[in-house]
Amino acid sequence: MAHEFIDGSTAIVRGALAAGCDFFAGYPITPASPILQMMMTELPARGGVAIQGEDEIASIGMCIGATLAGARTLTATSGPGISLYSENIGLAIIGEVPLVIVDVQRLGPATGGATTVGQGDVQFVRWGTAGGYPIIALAPSTVEECYSLTMRAFDLAERFRCPVFLLTDKDLNMTMRTVDPSALTDMVVRDRDLRRGDEGPPYRYHPPDGVPPMSRYGDEIMRFTGSSHGEDAVITKNPAAVGALNDHLAAKIDDHRAEIEMVTLDHQERAATLILTYGVTAGAARAAVRQTRAGGDAVSLLVVQSLWPVPEEAIGAALEGVTRVVVPELNLGQYRREIDRLASGREIVGVNRVDGKLITPEQIVEALL
């Protein structure tokens, strides 16, 4: 079969279309602009809608409105855009709105390096909204995963009625690679669970981890608010109702971590060292593992695809028999903070770079030695 020469942005767009995405809104921002450009071309040709918003705030607002009107929505931006998305991300969380948000990371802070690679938004997407409620974030490490994890993101958004982040980066999205099309693996994306008019209130907080079907906005008179509300969607300050809402927003994700976890473990017997990484840096980690094993040394590799919620069960299993963990990432050690609390008693070594260049296999090998 003929191979293709594509980048991560193309794979994300294809994955979104395969997942049934029929609405996109975004604002031009490097390095996410290619997704906007492709969706503006591809979606209208398929009967969908693609809009270049006047700014980032309007763009994610349109996505929320389109979702409530029945669309399956995608938006794409970078770190500065996520800053502007923040308030509406909180609205999507409290209103339980399924949508997919692509964050093509670049070097920060502020506008930072617009054409420079980085992985500095890892903690930002988790904690960037008021309240600190759980979110789901996936991180592809290859062009092929850009495709499959985009589909997975749409499925998780529908499953848990929440925004799902796809954390990529400038180099993964804008570097052309040779890909076998058969490796662009489709994943099942569930249909939206819609509420029937006689099916009870528009929200359900009992049991806390349950996910109610969505209302058919437009077919019936419904309320939608960013304020604390009861199961009837009416604003309330009743402590029991407010507590039930907020317990529900946490439990529906935290109590289903095992369903969300996605990692790839390359385990080697007798390995006392584990390399744990994610995203574009996994490429250098894989090369470092090959070099290290060729030299006769044992080392294991864990690539995390589901960054949030932290896949604690999978990480715990990978830590069995390990005395040292090496964590390469293009920031000052953001995900290493999570590993510090999970790998108590083990040596934790960070390999970090924030000069706009990729971590090399040699840097990881040096840390192993």
Same fold, 4-183 and 262-368: yes
pLDDT at residue 218, as a whole number: 73
Q: Are 12 and 168 in contact (CB under 8 A)?
A: yes
Task: Report the interhelical angle of 79-94 vs 239-254 (nearest 10°).
Answer: 120
pLDDT at residue 284, as a whole number: 98
Q: Are 222 and 234 in contact (CB under 8 A)?
A: no
Over the stretch 22-81, which tens digit does the pLDDT of each residue have?
999 999 999 999 999 999 999 999 999 999 999 999 999 999 999 999 999 999 999 999
Q: Is the pLDDT of residue 169 over 80?
A: yes
Tell me which H or E stretch contains 210.
none
Measured over the CA atoms of residue 262, residue 160, residue 208 and residue 195, the dihedral's sign is negative
- Residues in the chain, total: 369
Peptide bond into 31 cis (omega under 30): yes
Cβ neighbors of 59 (< 8 A, separation 6 or more) are 25, 26, 27, 51, 53, 75, 77
pLDDT at residue 222, as a whole number: 77
Place of tokens 């980085």: 118
pLDDT at residue 1, as a whole number: 61
The candidate with the shortest Cα–Cα distance to 196, out of 212, 180, 185, is 212
Over the stretch 88-102, which tens digit does the pLDDT of each residue have?
999 999 999 999 999
Over the stretch 217-256, which tens digit does the pLDDT of each residue have?
777 767 899 999 999 999 999 999 999 999 999 999 999 9
Over the stretch 185-211, which tens digit does the pLDDT of each residue have?
899 999 999 988 777 888 999 999 999
The candidate with the shortest Cα–Cα distance to 302, out of 338, 332, 355, 331, is 338
Per domain, the residue ranges of the chain are 4-183, 262-368
The candidate with the shortest Cα–Cα distance to 9, out of 41, 34, 45, 29, is 34
Homologous superfamily of domain range 4-183: Thiamin diphosphate (ThDP)-binding fold, Pyr/PP domains (3.40.50.970)
| Average pLDDT in the chain | 96
Sequence-separated contacts (24+) of 335-341 with Cβ below 8 Å: 335/122, 335/278, 335/304, 335/307, 337/123, 338/310, 339/276, 339/315
Q: Which two tokens stand for residue 217?
A: 């906005």
Looking at CATH, the fold of the domain delimited by 262-368 is given as Rossmann fold (3.40.50)
E strand map for 262-346: 263-266, 273-277, 300-304, 306-308, 324-329
